[in-house]
Amino acid sequence: MATVSLLIFIIFATGVHGLDSDDQDLNANMTTRKSFFCACDELCDNGMQPCETTGKCFVSISHDGNGQTSRRRGCLNYGQQGILICKSGSNSKLSIQCCEGDMCNVNISVSLSTSPTPKPASTDPGGNMTMAKYNVPILVTSILGPFVALTFLILFCLCLFRHKHKRQMQKLSMVDPELAHRHPHELRAVPAGDSTLKDMFDHSCTSGSGSGLPFLVQRTVARQITLVEQVGKGRYGEVWRGQWQGENVAVKIFSSRDEKSWIRETEIYNTVLLRHDNILGFIASDMTSRNSCTQLWLITHYHPLGSLYDFLNRNILDPPLMCRLLLSASSGLVHLHTEIKCNRTKPAIAHRDIKTKNILVRDNLTCCIADLGLAVLHSEDSNTINVGSNNKVGTKRYMSPEMLDETMNMESFESFKRADVYAFGMVLWEVGRRCEIGGLCEEYKPPFYEYVPNDPSFEYMRKVVCVEKLRPTLHNRWCTDQTLTCLAKLMKECWYHTASARHTSLRVKKTLMKISESCSKTSKIVY
């Protein structure tokens, strides 16, 4: 009986299937089966004696932990226990064979298996085991199917990304509509060769391509530029010093989120008759793809002295230099605001983000206005205002009261120009503080530094400028010198609370010319 218990335990430990169908057969045939005799060596002491059963006869051989081998023959009742034992199969420690019929287990030989026997799926009528069958194609499909599907999904995503990237590149590289209808011979594309940028500008000044080079030449120059070092970084992206045939150029690389700024600035710079000594010289605009990432380039003249903001932080000014910087900056603003009518009309342009960081200092210590990404165009003939698709606003410290309290008339182009004049008044204040008079000079500070934190919110600025109507404070020394006194009077007239009371940019320029004529020219700049 100990052997039978061991058999049942091993069978349940290895798992059994197919009991339900055998139980049904058992219930259906229980009353119809006949009994027969089996050889038995458990019930009697002398030899093999028969036992009677309605189930099956069995022969088993088992191997215990002590190395002893035991053989048994006997009867199994036709029930669940008998089915389990007969289906236990053969392995290295136990082997069982079942049969039906009188004394059928006398001559059956049983041996232990040297390797595990696969789990049987069924037994034949004689009680012999049959191996379980597996559907190989289904098994292979179930294993490889998910990997194949995942591979196709990855390939599909890559193709979709490349297609989208290609379409974006095609969109960005579309030919200017003004140039698209021209005959190819009208594009005065100058081969690069050994020409300098000045030669190319002089040769193409009547090409109608605006302040930069003709479209095809822009693409040629842009692809020959080597980036040397990063010289600046801002909310729009990065500024690099590049080289083209030994000449330094500035490369403004826009981030992808500022694509609209790049498109707008390219559009403005390609405006006809925009070229001016006091407007940053535009060379080319192009896009490039690196590591599947689109880079938007704006290539301009390079000015190693940097912005007026940087220049004021590093240098102390004398009155003549102060007037020179301010007069040249105002000349650039006047050129922007002025509509020119001749063979090809230049529209009036409002900058919308005038500040010292957007004014560059040239080698000859004059200024030029840069960063036209927020500019607004106006044509008197059509009386329409082209704001563009860029919905960003200017710098909060330089915003006029009507912009902060949102009462500005967006349908009037004059409102945009008056807002520029207000911001230019802040520039006058910043530059005037750095002018040394009588050995006295103030350190550089941004506008409203005494009222607001480093990064003031829109509401904070509105409270200071519109509600409290405060303006940057003037040191007592502004009253001790005629040049600073005249400059203080001018800046106050630029930042009037009422926009219509402010000077025009042309009036500001003429006033600065008078101040420049009367100021002393004996001081020198201190580096």
Q: Which CATH number fits domain 188-301: 3.40.50.2300, 2.40.37.10, 3.20.190.10, 3.30.200.20?
A: 3.30.200.20
| H runs (alpha helix) in 173-214 | 177-180, 197-203
Give the residue from 357, 376, 325, 374 showing the smallest Cα distance to 447.
357
**Catalytically annotated residue among 22, 318, 353, 371:** 353
Give the percent of the chain with pLDDT over 90.
39
Q: For 484, phi and psi rounded to 5 degrees?
A: -70, -35
Architecture of the domain defined by 2-131: Ribbon (2.10)
Q: Where in the chain is CATH 3.30.200.20?
A: 188-301
Instruction: Assess whether pLDDT exceeds 90 at residue 185.
Output: no
Q: May I ask the CATH class of domain 308-518?
A: mainly alpha
Average pLDDT in the 473-500 region? Answer: 94
353 is catalytic: yes
CA–CA gap between residue 518 and residue 520 (Å, rounded): 7
pTM, whole model, 2 decimals? 0.62
Q: What is the DSSP string of 207-232?
A: SS-TTS--HHHHHHHHTT-EEEEEEE
Among 143-147, 153-157, 507-511, the minimum mean pLDDT is found in 143-147
pLDDT tens-place string over residues 446-460: 999 999 998 899 999
Q: Where in the chain is CATH 2.10.60.10?
A: 2-131
Signed CA dihedral, 222, 226, 231, 234: sign only = positive
CA–CA gap between residue 202 and residue 43 (Å, rounded): 122
Q: Which amino acid is at 413?
A: F
pLDDT tens-place string over residues 255-283: 777 888 888 888 888 887 888 999 999 98
Q: What is the pLDDT of residue 193?
A: 43
Instruction: Assess whether pLDDT exceeds 70 at residue 120.
Output: no
CA–CA gap between residue 192 and residue 200 (Å, rounded): 8
Q: Where in the chain is CATH 1.10.510.10?
A: 308-518
